Structure 1
Amino acid sequence: MSIQGKAKGFWASVGTVVVGNMFSRLLSALLVVFLVVFVLMLRTCGEESLVEEDSYLVIDMTKEWSENTATQGNLGEVFAAEAIVGLHDMLRLIDSASNDERIAGIILRVGDCPNGYASIREVRQALERFQGKDKPIFAYGDIVTQRGYYLASVADRFSMNAEGYVLMRGFGAELTYFGELLQSKLKMDIQVFRPDDNAFKSAVEPFVQNQSSPENKAQYREILKGMYGVYAEDVAASRGIEASSLDNSFDKLSLRNPRALLSASLIDTVEPRFVFEEFILSSAGQDEDGVKEVSLGQYYNEVFSSSNTEEEDHIAIVYAQGSIIDGRGNRDDIGGDKFAEIFHDLRKDDQVKGVVLRINSGGGSALASEVM
């Protein structure tokens, strides 16, 4: 074969590879586009039936509520991934459900609730507003703790598994002191600088004492008394009992099982889960199998997916949750530098006419607070 023939064969091979590579990439791109369009079509077709008539909004009380909602981003929106609904949006969703004709009621899945009493009370008050629209709330639990019961006690019908677990012992505080360990056993010299008139500043007591001071006991007693007073008042009003009856039950430590709760009129019935679901169906006048349930994440996608995102004058909400620390911190911290930058950007934004700072923190760095 001549040199000219070999050259033609070489360039023909190169052209074939290049064309084949381009064709392969084009085919891959078209396939991705097709899949995205297909998923969007499926999602669009399913949006109308996401929340059906006579649906029940389900609130899982065993999940921890952050302040802000965590969405799944653009890819999550394409595949209709559920958002992890934060406390602020949960309150908005409950209020929205109270005016939504498709939502027949709310189901509370009771369990070991990890959230603080302040957050629980906000949700409880939203549920009371929901009841004010003549819509029922049903609660069922296999496990009921004191915090979980406080929220679930608002329900119109509260049921438990007969073999369920109950942990309700009243309000108290357990403090650990290791002054003797540090000073006598480990021979450490603990030096505390505290003015004489600051006896109620008790943060240093565990390092230098073996028991609580009278001042610390007094302030803890007042704090717990105030918390329990709100708890007992709200529970008694929802359950239609006297607060003194609840006091007596806690004093005797008698709330140990579902039967004890039933005897104290703190729940309505003891029954299996399927009987609970059958009651919901009958109360709604439905004969089909299964209760139509909608999770908070699904309802969030339904209610807020078409929110107006156009730039206009508005009030910004800044969520700050965690310990206040120096520097930028991470997602679970309140970093002084990071939030200072956020406030700086908001101050420069002409569309932002005000800022609401929603903070959930036990405190931290005074310097970081000053930077913010």
Structure 2
Amino acid sequence: MTVRSLLLLGCLAALMISLPAAAQASDSDEGSVTPTIKLVELVISADGGEDPRPQNPLGPSQRNFRLRLEQIRAIAADPSVNGVRLKVEGIPGLARSLDLLDEIEGLKAAGKLVVCYSEALERDDLLFASAADHLCVPPSGMIILNGLLAESMYFKQLLARFDASVEVLHIGDFKTAFEELARDGMSDGQRTTLQNILDEFWEQIVSTIADQRGMQRAELEQLFAQLIVSPELAQTAGLIDQVGYRDAFDAKVEALLGGEYELVEDYGDRTKEDIEKMLESPFALFALLPALLDPPTPEAPDQDYVAIVYATGAINSGESAVDWQGKVSSMGSETIVEALEAAADDEHCKAVVLRVNSPGGSALASDMIWRAVERTMQRKPVVSSMGSLAASGGYWISMGCTSIVAQPSTLTGSIGVVGMLPDVSKTLAANGIKVETVSAGPLGDALALMAHGPSEPLKAAMIGMMQATYDSFIIKVAAGRKLAPEQVSELAKGRVWTGRQAEENGLVDVLGGLVDSIDLACVLAGLDPASTPVFELPEPPNPLEQLQQSLGVMTQARSPFEQLLLGLGFGDALALAQRLVADPRPLHADSVQAVMPFTFVIR
């Protein structure tokens, strides 16, 4: 038996030992009378994971983003629930936040009281806290209001210390991907694009908070100009409703609800009684073990339904990859094509929602998915539902859909291509390493990057391939969006657009969220949105495979520099640079990238 197998069995044994103990835990005051007024705690977090989650038969429900939206709708429709207490622990990006805020408005429209208590409030927290009917901060609480800041890191000088460099080739004036590796500082095109994005985001954030609090925009911006705002001043300005400690807040909530209430922290999850029932037999754990290690594959409904195909992460050829938590870390064209073909072949599937959250990636892999979308549309409508990011390759796979839906803050467009050629020949020479080559045939040594860096024939071939890819991109956008190629050319050049701007320019059809996309797919298919079931693809990963992958990840050591980049929020840029630089092939099918033109962190 291998060490990995022993570790795996140890983890399972610990799980089996801990569950009975958890199930035997007794509730406090079991004999007390349960209040008839019910308040549900709704946690808002930064987890915006959308792909299907594997179900744990012994634990709490695992909800992806769609199911979290459905949970809020279920609360709104539940007559036994009187209100909701918001607990803001982070936000899942601006675009997904707008989806959640729509559902919170649905709670209020259904007559549910929405309250929030927070010891500290920051700009992003206020997006949700400001939606509360009653918002309270303690006298010693801190309210930090700052504008938006985008940060990008440039590594040319660092690479130069090791006599290394990167040559970036791009088609499109605003296609600035990988410039962080080739420049000392930000290009004018990138600065212009980032400024445009921040201005759009700022407008949406300020207008949302002001509208929800019934404030004038100028009044709110005056508070932002102070950076740190006292709770008393915030209450005077109408940003919050109460300055008080938790006991005073609880008393106020009781008064608003009309009496003592029961706080439900696990609405819709398995209860202690559910676990006890599963564990009544001493052999129950062994019976549940197969379902834990290898849960049954979800089956599509045997009635008319809408399929959601999740297209998440950077686009690569091959199969999708998942991280140790079971979340998709990269989108494989083979996986998405297979999911689209499954939906197209099922006669009960009447429409498809392609849910895109991707910065793009391989142009070739993007084109394979685009073709699968085209083939699916020959049999049923396909709606592209854009999340926070559907740019470059993410737009490529969406451009031919029957309809495209995006939030105003979605980042999309970026119609352009880029390639990167690293040069470490001087690094090797400086360290006493001489690379000799032997070749045969025309241009046999043209790809010898370690010997002499990128050659002129290699660069010429790359540029030719990139130009052909870019021209194909333009033509397909024009055909899918029913625009003149000349018009698309003006909208392209690698420029990133917000969803609002893309809708104005004809690159997007409708402004809305995931629920709106599903409803639209139902309407296009002649189905009733209120009663039509939804089936998610691709199928969720096997929990056993997740655990095995996590054991492998835990053995990987990172340098202090890598840890610094991860801590600063540049993990995605680090992973992409590592993958491209480490590829020993200077020219291959995925060399041309239709990828977001920059990596940045908004603070």
- Which structure ranks higher in relative contact order (CA pairs < 8 Å, sequence separation ≥ 6)? 2
Verify the 8 A CA contact 1:70 1:86 in the aligned structure 2.
yes
Structure 1 unaligned regions, length at least 5: 1-38, 40-50, 301-307
Paired residue secondary structure (1:202): coil
Distance 2:303 2:45 in 1: 38
Give the 5 Å matches for 1:64-75.
64-68=47-51, 70=53, 72-73=55-56, 75=57
Instruction: Kindly indicate whether residue 349 of structure 2 is the aligned counterpart of residue 352 of structure 1.
Output: yes
Q: Which residue of 1 aligns with 2:258?
A: 285
- Equivalent AA in structure 1 for residue 169 of structure 2: F
1:311-336 deviations in whole A, cap 9, x for unaligned? Answer: 11211122233332332233313222
Q: Is the 8 A contact 1:90 1:296 kept in 2?
A: no
Residue matched to 2:361: 364
The one-letter code of the counterpart of 1:243 is R
The Cα of 1:349 is off from its aligned counterpart by: 1.4
Q: Does 1:327 pair with 2:306? A: no
> What is the identity, as a one-letter code, of the residue corresponding to 1:298?
D
Q: C-alpha deviations, 1:66-99, integer Å up to 9, x for none?
A: 21463535x34xxxx4212222122223223223
How far apart in 1 are the matches of 2:168 and 2:365? 24
1:91 to 53, 56, 69: 69
Measured in 2, the distance between the counterparts of 1:280 and 1:371 equals 55
Structure 2 residue aligned with 1:58, among 24, 37, 41? 41
Give secondary structure in 1 for the equivalent of 2:337.
Answer: helix
What is the aligned partner in structure 2 of residue 314 from structure 1? Answer: 305
2:145 to 165, 168, 171: 168
Superposed CA deviations along residues 182-222 of structure 1, whole A, max 9, x for unmatched, are 33x33334323245xx3322223322332222332222111
1:53: how far off? 4.7
Letter of the 1:315 counterpart: V
Which stretch shows the higher mean deviation, 185-194 or 93-102? 185-194
Q: 1:203 aligns with which of 158, 167, 177?
A: 177
* CA distance 1:203–1:225, shift in 2 (3 Å): same
Q: 1:178 to 1:278 in 2, by over 3 A?
A: same
Structure 1 residues 297 and 369: alpha-carbon distance in aligned structure 2, compared to 1, 3 A threshold: farther
Displacement after TM superposition at 1:361 (Å): 2.1
**Maintained 8 Å contact 1:140/1:273:** yes
SS at match of 2:240: coil
After TM superposition, give the deviation of residue 269 of structure 1 in Å.
1.9
Coordinate RMSD, CA, aligned:
2.9
- For the residue of structure 1 that corresponds to 2:319, the secondary structure is coil
Task: Quote the offset at 1:294 in angstroms.
Answer: 4.5
1:186 to 162, 167, 176: 162
TM-score (norm 1): 0.73
Query: CA distance change for structure 1 residues 142 and 261 in 2, over 3 Å: closer, same or farther?
Result: same
What SS class does the counterpart of residue 292 from structure 1 fall into? strand
Give the 3 Å change call, closer, same or farther, for CA 189–321 of structure 1 in structure 2: closer
Which of 239, 247, 255 aligns to 1:274? It is: 247
Alpha-carbon separation, structure 1, partners of 2:268 and 2:62: 6
Query: Match for 1:233 among 191, 207, 232?
Result: 207
CA displacement at 1:118 relative to structure 2: 0.6
Q: How many residues align?
A: 305
| Secondary structure in 1 matching 2:352 | strand
**Distance (Å, rounded) in 2 between the aligned partners of 1:139 and 1:282:** 15
Task: Name the structure with the higher helix share.
Answer: 1
Determine if contact 2:305/2:350 at 8 Å carries over to the other structure: yes
Q: For 1:267, what is the secondary structure of its paired residue?
A: coil
SS at structure 2 position matched to 1:318: strand
Percentage of pairs with the same residue: 25
Deviates more, 1:290-299 or 1:232-241: 290-299
Q: Does 1:151 align with 2:128?
A: yes
Helix, strand or coil at the partner of 2:45: coil
Supply the distance in 2 between the matched residues of 1:238 and 1:57 (Cα, whole angstroms).
21
Paired AA for residue 228 in structure 2: S
Q: Structure 2: where are the runs of 5+ without partners?
A: 1-22, 24-33, 272-298, 323-327, 370-603
Structure 1 285/175 Cα, relative in aligned 2: closer, same or farther at 3 Å? same
TM-score with structure 2 setting the length: 0.46
Is the CA contact 2:145–2:226 (under 8 Å) kept in the aligned structure 1? no
Shift of 1:356: 0.9
Q: 62, 80, 83: which is aligned to 1:105?
A: 83
Quick check: 2:36–2:262 contact (8 Å CA) kept in 1?
Answer: no
